[in-house]
Amino acid sequence: MSDMVVMGRIVAPYGVLGWVKVVPATEQFDGLLDYKNWWVGKGDHWIEHKVSKAKVHNDVLLVKLAGIDDRDLAFAAKGKQISVPKEALPEAGEGEYYWSDLIGLEVTNQQDIVFGKIIDVFDTGANDVIVVRPEKSKEAVAVESDVQDDAKADKKAKKNKHEDERLIPFVDDVIVDVDLAKKTMLVDWDETY
């Protein structure tokens, strides 16, 4: 099923009757409970399950999904994501975006320097932060493949793999423009940060 929005993940079975522990990835901790049907899976492989029962318990949701009726099935679901179709979500308000809409946007600063694409978004408590990773040029990929036989160079490449990632706060003072149609974001962010 296309256009699934990941809203959480199953982290463990709970008990012997097929209940699972779910860590939500929603703005409101219990926001996932607004949906009566969840899709469980990863990538392009999703199975729809009706939420039979659910409750908040400490820092997780305890959920009984129809079709997951014993501990073995619950254990098999461990690590799978919980999603809902994008069309089931309410429309985002003016200047609001779903995190899933931001993934893949190309980020450029006001000096026309391309930082790369958004690969992740997370919440710090104070504000959201986007993780931007530069795309490798064809030359960089060719050089990287030439040095793969050299164990020392390979170890160094792994160490430096994410050094160019940028963490940019998703706040009004920094985010100048988001164009979902063009898949671009303009930021007021110095290239030396």
How confident is the model at residue 86, as a pLDDT? 86
Q: What's the Cα-to-Cα distance from 62 to each of 23, 24, 53, 134, rounded to whole Å?
A: 9, 11, 8, 39
How confident is the model at residue 159, as a pLDDT? 43
* Statement: residue 158 has pLDDT above 50: no
pTM for this entry: 0.66
Euclidean distance between CA atoms 91 and 33, whole angstroms: 18
Task: Provide, rounded to the nearest whole percent, the portion of the chain with pLDDT above 70.
Answer: 85
Find the farthest-apart pair of alpha carbons in the chain and give their distance in angstroms, rounded: 58
pLDDT tens digits, one per residue of 129-142: 999 999 875 444 44
Show the tokens assigned to 56.
């908040």
Show the tokens assigned to 190.
């110095």
pLDDT tens digits, one per residue of 78-88: 999 999 988 88
